[in-house]
Amino acid sequence: MNWLVVDEIIKNALVEDSAYGDITTSAIVLPKSQCTVDLIAKEEGVMAGLLVFQRVFEILGEVDIQLCVNDGELVKAGQIIGFLKGKTQHILTGERIALNLLQRMSGIATMTHKAVDLLKGTSAKVLDTRKTTPNLRILEKYAVVIGGGTNHRFHLSDGILIKDNHIDAAGGIKEAILKVRSKVSFVRKIEVEVETLDQVKEALDAKADIIMLDNMSLQSMKEAVALINKRSITEASGNITLDNIRDIAETGVDFISLGMLTHSVNALDISMKNLSLE
């Protein structure tokens, strides 16, 4: 991860949460107060974002953290993840921001791990999307990788993806690809979103590098994969869940993109408990 970017995310979050100070903590806790706190997993899941959690308190200062697990490890409900020791005011002020980021990232890693596990024995790989929380994309895509998934493009400058509205604006798939090829470097692969077998044929004729099969039935997807026959990379997308991902993988697609990994995942339940003053 680019820690210059991550630090800005953390600092902005701290400013949002305590722009004029933490008036509750300041009223109750003396500036010189020191304490210890346990970091505990309250449900099973895959950890992601532990160094981001730690960085929150490094920025606030005067807090030491001992981590007992690493990113990518599966933890059980009730398991101690780490220990915090240091300035009580900083621990209490940073608690919510640190937990928010850790819980969000661990929830994404956990869901990704479940999806990847369902694909064992197939050649398909799990992809994320750009359906991420504004300003948290670098963290959320990192969490996908920790869970065993693969990153799709990070931003609009990172790759070419011609979607339905681009096709309508250009007047067709062939026209869209020709326009892109005339204006974008040859090193860029071109991906095209299609919804029908006729569009698959048009994308193949235009020599698309990657063909995204969007919202297709299983039967249509199987026919599309057979028609493409490895001439382009294939990606399945649209209304994919843990319930149907295995069936989709068995159509023979190369990649399966899941917006749900980042746009609607549940945070993993993690808390800071057992505060003890020193």
Annotated catalytic residues are: 96, 131, 163, 193, 214
* Alpha carbon of residue 42 to chain centroid: 21
Contact 152, 19 (CB under 8 A): no
Contact 141, 126 (CB under 8 A): no
Q: Cα(261)–Cα(130) distance, rounded to whole angstroms?
A: 10
